[in-house]
Structure 1
């Protein structure tokens, strides 16, 4: 039986009601333990794999499963939405490091990352489970959009903008629209048609086909 269930007040420093260290203080304190964070991630993943809905995954339950105090979690994440987003990022392929030497090659790298993420979602029951529930939790979905999707989208638009400046892509079109032309086929096959093929070489074919139609006019 937990302290909360027994009616005994919990220690003030070990929960959302108690004082939490300021971000600056947390950074100056002891370094983050990768082993502790992995134990927390494993606890969340295990609960989700057991079929526990996102709505029932409280910080208290996660902490109990991971064998840590709630304060340990709150020192790392403001709430469970941020914890879930970081867990999702840890399960996905890492964002590419663009070389900047070739607009075409950078676009291929970006689309190849999308392809790999699509494959990851198909092969991971955990990812599929979480993403199927995320839309029902606006705060979680917004956090994922702000911290994961938007930075990737800006990276794509920066690459398209560089292509326009270098004369490799026509510059009379909206940058965001052009970026959508590149990522559209991958999103179609990973979101709208989840059973469509994501074969090797798809990123190169999409980039080359779109670039052929976006060459600057004479």
Structure 2
């Protein structure tokens, strides 16, 4: 894997820089926020244009973002750390509990995944990133630890509460219950390109159909 190293003197002063980060700063946004947004957008644009994760370089990202390489290295130690944040940013936070009980929260969790799948550009970039991570072990492990595990644990905590409330059977493993509940919407939102996610009632239909078979006898 190609690794970029910081180069002294690459940081540009906004007085002479016409890149999007500095332009945004001159409009009043804090420099750090504007530069960060420009970097994230540059990576997403490059990937949406067909650049693979392996082909991405700090130099190429900096050029696309209109910033110096030092701007990137002040925030991330290497390309892998930056890519984890980019992909993690595409994964919007899971919803807070509704207060309406486990069934309502399960529906909200599935609907959150449905809504995420409706963002076609984000969906495409995320799908491309996940498909390429297997060839980048460091990035794959970092993404699993920072994004996948916390969200899976949050989902399992919700399923555990559903078992405690008597909504789900208690004789099945939590991991299996999680796969049965979340697998169908993951399939539709990530793996099945032509799936119809427009139905706002899809999450309720999925959850109630599964509860018919997974509810206690």
Q: How far apart are the structure 2 equivalents of 1:166 and 1:130?
A: 37
Structure 2 CA distance for aligned equivalents of residues 66 and 186 of structure 1: 34
Counterpart in 1 of 2:211?
211
Distance 1:136 1:129 in 2: 12
Residue 179 (structure 1) aligns with: 178
Count how many residue pairs are aligned between Structure 1 and Structure 2: 194
Instruction: Give the C-alpha shift of residue 102 in structure 1.
Output: 0.9
Matched, 1:11 2:8: yes
Q: Is the CA contact (8 Å cut-off) linking 1:121 and 1:127 kept in structure 2?
A: no
TM-score, structure 1 as length reference: 0.74
Post-superposition shift, 1:87? 1.8
Q: Superposition RMSD on alpha carbons, in Å?
A: 3.0
1:115 and 2:114 aligned: yes
Q: Is the 8 A contact 2:10 2:68 kept in 1?
A: no
Query: 1:53–1:215: structure 2 CA closer, same or farther, 3 Å change rule?
Result: closer
* 1:30-41 matched pairs, under 5 angstroms: 33-41=32-40
Equivalent-residue separation in structure 2 for 1:116 and 1:138 (angstroms) = 29
Q: CA deviation at 1:38?
A: 0.5
Rounded Cα–Cα distance in structure 1 between residues aligned with 2:7 and 2:129: 30
- In 1, the alpha carbon distance for the partners of 2:122 and 2:152 equals 24
Q: Distance in 1 between matches of 2:191 and 2:66?
A: 40
Structure with more relative contact order (C-alpha pairs < 8 Å, separation 6 or more): 2
CA distance in 1, matches of 2:122, 2:8: 42
2:7–2:69 CA contact under 8 A, matched in 1:
no
Query: Does the 8 Å contact 2:156/2:175 carry over to 1?
Result: yes
Q: Secondary structure at the match of 1:77?
A: coil
Shift of 1:202: 1.3
Q: Name the counterpart of 1:96.
A: 95
Describe the shift of the 1:182–1:83 C-alpha distance in structure 2 as closer, same or farther (beyond 3 A).
same
| 1:73-107 superposed Cα distances (whole Å, 9 cap, x missing partner) | 23322322221232223334442122344101111
Q: 1:10–1:140: structure 2 CA closer, same or farther, 3 Å change rule?
A: closer
Distance in 2 (alpha carbons) for counterparts of 1:178 and 1:49: 34
Deviation at 1:192?
4.2
In the TM superposition, residue 156 of structure 1 has moved relative to its aligned partner by 1.1
Counterpart of 1:23 in structure 2 is none
Q: If the length of structure 2 is used for normalisation, what is the TM-score? A: 0.74
> What aligned pairs does 1:92-171 form with structure 2 within 5 A after superposition?
92-121=91-120, 125-171=124-170
Change in CA separation of 1:52 and 1:180 when aligned onto 2, cut-off 3 Å: closer
1:109: how far off?
1.2
> Displacement, 1:157?
0.6
